Amino acid sequence: MKYIAISFMCMLLYACQQPTERLEGYEVHGIDVSRYQLEINWDTVAMQQIDFVFVKASEGLELVDVCFEHNWSTIKEKSIKRGAYHFFHPKLSSFDQAMNFINAVPLEYGDLPPVLDFEVTNGASEMLVINRLQSWLDIVERHYGIRPIIYTNQKLYKKYILDNFDHYPIWMARYSTKEPIVSQKWDFWQYGNRGTINGIKGDVDLNVFRGSRLELEDMCLAPRAVLSAK
């Protein structure tokens, strides 16, 4: 068993270090970026069949990504679907983290739903993690009027998301050519972190959307239905 565990870890490390090739067989492709990509030439990116971009907006209680505002406005100018994510810390106040995201992100009609980036537990108990995830999701959904997406990996999905957040859209990280193994349908799949995109210096995460471009459009923020009085 020890040998199997070591072999698995070696395979995982190898996969993370290998250049990520664009996956075929999917109609809708995207990337996600943060300050680590530094200055991005969005004119060049827009010419490479990139359908959507998720941008880091905030983290924790006060951090706002220094490149967010520029990336956010420029992506819209290039007519690429855009979404924003918050890197979540379960030991910190859900309310304050939600407000950090809300104050940073002016979602508009046509934007993708907000994303809760859940990839650390910070040593918090299982119950605390679940309760604070739910609190952030509820606050953000009430504010924007759209159900957020949960980004996570397979290990955290199985322990915290499965059976607790099954009705939320899922963006799954699995660095492989094989699709994520999850009980519910995944919506986005981050399949590698060492992609190459002209206009971006260094590595970038590559993603696909499960459905069509029309289905991606249907996921986006739209005007709330107004019921006329009869």
According to the model, what pLDDT value does residue 224 have? 65
* 32 classed as catalytic: yes
**Which tokens is 225 given?**
């239905």
Phi/psi region, residue 94 (left: phi>0; alpha: psi -120 to 50; beta: rest), is alpha
According to the model, what pLDDT value does residue 184 have? 83
Highest mean pLDDT among 81-90, 182-191, 194-203: 81-90
Average pLDDT of the residues in 142-169: 97
Query: What is the enclosing helix (H) or strand (E) of 126?
Result: helix 126-144
According to the model, what pLDDT value does residue 181 have? 87
Average pLDDT of the residues in 205-215: 97
* 119 classed as catalytic: yes
According to the model, what pLDDT value does residue 120 have? 98
Tell me if 173 sits within 8 A of 152, measured CB to CB. Answer: yes
One-letter-per-residue 3-state SS of 99-134: HHHHHHCCCCCCCCCCEEECCCCCCCCHHHHHHHHH
Of 16-20, 221-225, 226-230, least confident by mean pLDDT is 226-230
Cα three-residue angle 94-96-102, rounded to 5 degrees: 100
> What pTM was estimated for this model as a whole?
0.89
Cα 45 to Cα 66: distance, rounded to the nearest angstrom: 20
Class of the CATH domain delimited by 28-219 = alpha beta
Paired with 28 in beta bridges are 209
According to the model, what pLDDT value does residue 9 have? 46
Of 62, 119, 215, 217, the active-site residue reads 119
According to the model, what pLDDT value does residue 223 have? 85
According to the model, what pLDDT value does residue 16 have? 52
Q: How confident is the model at residue 209 (pLDDT cuts 50, 70, 90)?
A: very high
Cα 68 to Cα 56: distance, rounded to the nearest angstrom: 6
According to the model, what pLDDT value does residue 219 have? 96
